Amino acid sequence: MNGLEQTCASLRAQIAVTEAQLAGLKRELQIAEQAAHDSQVQSTSISSEDGAKEDRRWPLLAEEYRRYGRQMIVPQLGLRGQLKLRSAKVLIVGAGGLGCPAAMYLAGAGVGTLGLVDGDTVEASNLHRQVLHRSRNVGKLKVDSAIEYLQELNPHPTYIAHREHLAPDAAADIFKDYDLILDCTDNPATRYLISDTAVLLGKPLVSASALRTEGQLMVLNNPPRPVGDNSGGPCYRCVFPRPPPANTVTSCADGGILGPVVGTMGVLQALEAIKVITADDTQPPSPPALHIFSAYSSPLFRTIKLRSRRANCAVCSAEATVSLDTVRSGSTDYVFFCGSADSEMLLAPEERVTPLEYQALHPPSEPGVEGKQPTMIDVREKVQFDICSLDNSINIPISTILASSTSKGDDSSAQLPSWVPPELAAAESKDPIYVVCRMGNDSQIVVKKLKELGLDRQGQRRVVDIQGGFHSWRKQVDPEWPEY
C-alpha cells in the first residue's frame, strides 16, 4: 500500500510540474504572438509609407478589390468603409455559438485585427451550432480551432488568440488594444464585467444572447462618451441594473438551443459591428434599442427603445462607484453580485440515494420473471423524457409540478393536485417513491414538494431522489445511457 501511495504522490507531483510548464509555455506563446502582431503592424506601416512615397495609385491590393468588391459597391460602405474595416481592431469574447458566426463574417468582411478570448476546448456537443469548429478539433482550444478556420477563410486579417477565460484582473489589459468589443458569452457575471470594462475604457460594445428559440441584441456604450457624460450610450447596467436571480438563469446545456437561432444573433452582432466601424462620423448613431428575436413568433423580430444612461448607474454616471481599479483589484465582485449558480443541497443525506444504491436495493428482474419495481418519477420535461427514459417510470415535468400551488392540509387525497398519480395518492400505499431528473437538482425540489403534500405518510413512506440524476446514472449503472 505504501508503494502505491508513493507512486500516486509521485504522479501528482509530475502532473503539477507539467501543468506549471504548460502555463508558462502558454504565456510565452501569447507574448510571441503579440510580438509577431506588433511586428506585422510595423511592417505594414512602413510599407504604407513606402507606398505613399511611390505615389501608389490605389489604396487596396488588387486581391482585396476582388475579395471585397461586392460589399464595397454597397452605398453605405464604399471604399471609405472598407478602409475603416481594414484598420479596425475588434475583440470577440467567447468563441462559441455567438462568437463563431460573428468572427466568420467579420473576418470575411476584412476587419484588420480580430482577437478572440476563450479558455474552453471544443466538445462534440458544440458542433451543431459553433460553426467554426470541426469534428477533428474536438479537445482543441476553441480560439485555436476558430483561428485555424478563419485563416483559411481570409488570410489578410491579423488574428490574436487570448487562451483564457476573461478575468477581472486581466480584462482591461486585453481590451485596451481594441476599438470595439463583442460580448458573445453566456453568463451574467461575465456580461457585467465586459460591459463595465468597455465603458471604463471608452469602447463601444455589441452584446447578444440566445436560448432555446429566442435571442436578444443590443449595441451599448455607443457613442462611447466618458463616465458622467449623459450623451453617451447606455451600458449593460443601465438596461439591467440588477442581475436575474442565480437560480433562474438557464444555460444552453439545460434549456437547449437551436443552432440557427444563436447563429442568427451572432451574424447580427457582426452586422452591428460593421455598422459601428463604418459609421459616418458626422451623423449621430442609431438610438439605443433592444432587439428581440423569436424563431416561432410572427413577426420574428420586435424592437424596444432603450433610455439613455441612467442617472445613478454604478459605472457610466456621475455617481459611478465602479472603476478600473475596483475591477482589477476584485473589489467589484461579479460572482457575488450575480449570485452563485451552484446547485443547492436541499435534501439531507438520508433523503438521497446514488444510482448504485438504487440498483442494489431494486435489482432488475430476471428475463421472463415479473417483479414489482418501485415508483420512479422522472421530472424532466417531456421532450427530454422522449429522448430516453427508464422502463416503468412516470413522467411528471417539473414545470407542471411548480405550476401547482396546492398543498395537502389533511388526510384527504382530494386536495392533492391533479398531477399526482392515483396510485401514489392511495392512502394504503407505502411503497417507496424515487424521483430522478437530468443532473440531480430538480429532483431535490420535487422530493420536498411531495413531502409537503404528505405523500411520505409522516415518515412512514420513503420519498428520495436519485443523486446526480441521469448524469450519474450513466457513469454508475448504464454507460450506454444517451448523453445529450
| Longest alpha-carbon distance in the chain | 98
Lowest pLDDT segment from 10-24, 228-242, 376-390? 10-24
Q: What pLDDT, on a 0 to 100 scale, did the predictor assign at position 145?
A: 98
The pLDDT of 100-111, averaged and rounded, is: 98
Q: What pLDDT, on a 0 to 100 scale, did the predictor assign at position 160?
A: 98
Q: What is the CA radius of gyration of the chain?
A: 28
Residue 52 has pLDDT above 80, yes or no: no
pLDDT of 220-243, one tens digit each?
A: 999 999 999 999 999 999 999 999
Between 345 and 319, whose confidence is greater? 319
Residue 73 has pLDDT above 50, yes or no: yes
210 and 98 in contact (C-beta within 8 Å)? yes
| Whole-number percent of the chain with pLDDT over 70 | 86
Q: What pLDDT, on a 0 to 100 scale, did the predictor assign at position 283?
A: 87
- CATH number among 3.40.50.720, 3.40.250.10, 3.40.50.150, 3.90.230.10, domain 349-401+417-477: 3.40.250.10
- Under the banding of pLDDT at 50, 70 and 90, the label for residue 49 is very low
Half-sphere exposure of residue 344: CA atoms within 13 angstroms, side-chain side: 10
Catalytic residues: 252, 437
Tell the residue number behind the cell numbers 440531480, with chain if given: 440
Q: What pLDDT, on a 0 to 100 scale, did the predictor assign at position 42?
A: 47
Q: How far is CA 2 from the centre of its chain?
A: 45
Closest CA to 484 of 389, 399, 387, 398: 387
Mean pLDDT of the chain: 89
d(CA 199, CA 226): 8
At the second CATH level, the architecture of 62-338 is: 3-Layer(aba) Sandwich (3.40)
The pLDDT of 8-32, averaged and rounded, is: 70
Which cell goes with 379?
421530472
Residues 6+ apart with CB under 8 A from 198: 175, 181, 204, 205, 220, 221, 224, 235
Q: What pLDDT, on a 0 to 100 scale, did the predictor assign at position 146?
A: 98
Q: Cβ of 156: how many Cβ atoms within 10 Å?
A: 15
Q: Cβ of 361: how many Cβ atoms within 10 Å?
A: 12
463 phi and psi angles, rounded to 5 deg: -125, 110
Give the angle 397-399-405 at the CA atoms, nearest 5°: 115
Closest CA to 381 of 364, 351, 403, 362: 403
Domain limits of the chain? 62-338, 349-401+417-477
d(CA 142, CA 94): 9
d(CA 303, CA 272): 15
Half-sphere exposure of residue 240: CA atoms within 13 angstroms, side-chain side: 16
Q: What pLDDT, on a 0 to 100 scale, did the predictor assign at position 44?
A: 47
